[in-house]
Chain A
């Protein structure tokens, strides 16, 4: 009985993926046929060879994701370090402050960001898009940073200091190993946030910085199943891939729980 239920659930969940995949290799899907027909390699051919924009957008998104993952994590963990020493009662107020972007409606927020970008001539640049993504991701990386720094018992630092460890060495040998799982976790979350974002990148990147989402959007809008499915599969595979690879690496490093917004 258990196996039947498990089977049904797995079927239900993979059905969307299966259908999507079929749409990338079959081109004829007139209503009301159940499954698409007419095998074709047109879409994948398009993706890999014919339309260079597609691969480029994937690379762009990967690059932006990597940049955002790194910079947001750094900024977030720096802030996290500074804020982890706070007492409990001040905690909610600070949480509100660093989570501010999460409580401002995205449209209003990014239109404002765009105005400033125009002023600073950051529009249509990679830097601009990364900065915009950082606004989105830093609340999460700060939160992760705080919880990881809180998890380091303060005695550890004190002991290290008494045996002569000076600041940089202290950081490298004592603190870094303890927060590495957190760094990885934060990095992967910020990567995913950037990779999946449409709005900020489209708005600020303009025509110059084209992300995978930006390319996917019009295909969906026009109900172009074939191309949407193709880009969709690439999209989801990368997302899932990155997440689970990071999980593997983190698990191998330590057995540490990851806390979010405790």
Chain B
């Protein structure tokens, strides 16, 4: 395991920013730290690089305790929110900076920089100055610069937040492909849920200075451990009921609950996990509201005081006041006690 963060605490003055942070980053995998602004995610990165000292806790890289090591010696690259290219150096020189500082030989330097220029597809920009290229191009240079010294770990702090949505998608795809190609270990901080789901192998959700849940995209999305995590990843439905001997009973029927403890529980279903069916005659619900979201619609239905939100494709079949039946998934259901 590549990076381990244990028990990190950090307060700035009176404000406690990080309360008790634990997580691991696996070698060659893409980990996102997902959270709102102010949740402390940038601070975690800064502690890992060494630009900020934690009040308590440890950071281990490849087994070595680097908690108090000089940031210049850690071999961890950091891509900031804004490209921060050195304005007085050309693109080529910017990328070469880390190598020059290590006194790498000229020929090796040239080789490496050319490699990166073509990987990031910015060959023709080599002799330009930062002021002469666009924001997106600057960010590519910034990434190339970070990769130049073959760091063992790459941290990215919301690197695409200043870019427009299409560019943002492109850059995300580029990073992901680079990561897979070069077997890089990346920790990526963002507040964009979709980006995180799309690119990550692992997601760590952070709120209020604590890691709420870690896991791969699927588990965090479909099996949130509590309400906060669930609502962070988008809306969902909680259906209350009771589990007895592996069976969950509620107003909407009985469902499989094999590996869950007996007692009161809520069934968690994402809006698109439930389907509407006009042909069902039993267990009818009434459509209260329809919201159009482009190609999908969100439908709120009501039955005996319980409201559910369902997402489905818009094929113009439903109207407010219609009575429809619901189809529920049969397997891999998730419950929270």
Q: Direct contact between A and B in the complex (CB less than 8 angstroms)?
A: no
Using CB atoms and an 8 Å cutoff, list the residues of chain A in contact with chain B. none
Using CB atoms and an 8 Å cutoff, list the residues of chain B in contact with chain A. none
